[in-house]
Amino acid sequence: MVKLTMKTHSKVIYYITIGVLLVAFLLPFIPLFINSFAYDFRWPSVITKNATVRALKYVFYENSSTYESIFNTIIIAISVVVIDILLATPAAFSLVRYEFKGKVIIKGLLFAPIIIPSFTAIMGMYVVFLKLGLTESIYGVILAHILPTLPYMIMALMVSYSTVDTALEEQAAVLGAGPISRFIYIILPHILPGMVAGASFTFLISISQYFLTFLVGGGKVSTIAIVMFPFISGGDNAIGSVYGVLFSALAIINLVLIDFILKKYYKKRKFKII
């Protein structure tokens, strides 16, 4: 009995610790939300007395560049995802299935942008981008976003490929399936969840870019990060907060959507197997 109370007592301490840290991690969101709809919210008010839609109205109604920036952000992110999938699908397959000369070096080269910041390369490349007309252009921005995202897509697909049973493919080959139908009917269903996870991560990295977008786009290619920046660096706090909420919402919607798709996919597969 004594031992039991001691055990629950110590658990309570751990729950309190985790509770305090959890609050500390979530606390920062509170001023962001208050700021986005509070009327005349200034020091030293802790909570707001009056609410207003001024900032919301400005962001979604008066400032026409908001929709353009949401559109650009999503177009850039989706283009990067599609290009990454096209590039990474064969590359990851080769890295998982084959042993070949120089594999370690090639892997090192492909994964380097994870750790070496892409802006160092883009600044060096700027002169060339300028000559090719890729600066201040959405194509240049898309090209730049491929660098920090492609390694993650390759990684996600490599994990997926390594779980595919090669015996299944051999059976299909024996039954006369060519390489293309083997890929579509056997490999693709297996790697799809990894592809979706990689796509979600790529999307997240792409929409979060401010510096790369600014370097290449020069402020002419407006994404949410670019449009919100003047407001958060010493501008209107209410408007900055609305953009902050919008920006985070986009990231969270992306993840929830991906989670939903993956769950649905796995459920469907289970039925098939049974």
Partner 1 sequence: MWQKSRPYILILPSLIIIVTIFFGGLTLGLLQSLGLMGIGGDSHLTMNAYRQLILSKDFINSLALTLKVALVSSVLSGVLAIILVRVLFILGENRKTAIIRKVFQVPMLVPHVTAAYIIMLLFMKSGWISSIAYSIGITKSIEAFPSVVNDPNSLGIIITYIWKETPFIMLMVFPIISRIQDSWLEIAQVFGARRQEFFREVILPLILPTWISSVLIVFAFTFSDFEVPYLLGITYPKFISVYSYNMYYNGQLSERPLALAANFILAIITAMLGIAAYKLIKIRDFKEVRW
Residue 18 binding partner 1, by CB under 8 A:
yes
* Residues from 54 through 83 that contact partner 1 (CB under 8 A): none
260 in contact with partner 1 (CB under 8 A): no
The residue (of 7 and 264) whose beta carbon lies closer to partner 1 is 7
Residue ranges in 87-106 that form contacts with partner 1 under rule CB under 8 A: 87-88, 90-91, 93-95, 97-98, 100, 103, 106
CB of 237 to partner 1, least distance (A): 7
In this complex, which beta carbon is closest to partner 1, that of residue 93 or of residue 186? 93
- Of positions 58, 139, 229, 265, contacts partner 1 by CB under 8 A: 229
Radius of gyration of the chain (CA): 24
Q: How many Cβ atoms are within 10 Å of 256's Cβ, its own excluded?
A: 10
d(CA 77, CA 207): 6
- On whether the CB atoms of residues 88 and 157 are closer than 8 A, the answer is yes
Distance CA 41, CA 47 (A): 8
Q: Using CB under 8 A, which of 58, 117, 261, 262 touches partner 1?
A: 117
Between 102 and 176, name the residue whose CB sits nearer to partner 1.
Answer: 102
Check residue 122 for interaction with partner 1 (CB under 8 A): yes
Pick out residues in 173-212 that bind partner 1 (CB under 8 A).
204, 207-208, 210-211
Amino acid identity, residue 176? Answer: G
Q: Which residue has the tokens 């049974």?
A: 274
Q: Residue 197 to residues 24, 117, 186, 262: CA-CA distances in angstroms? A: 29, 22, 19, 9
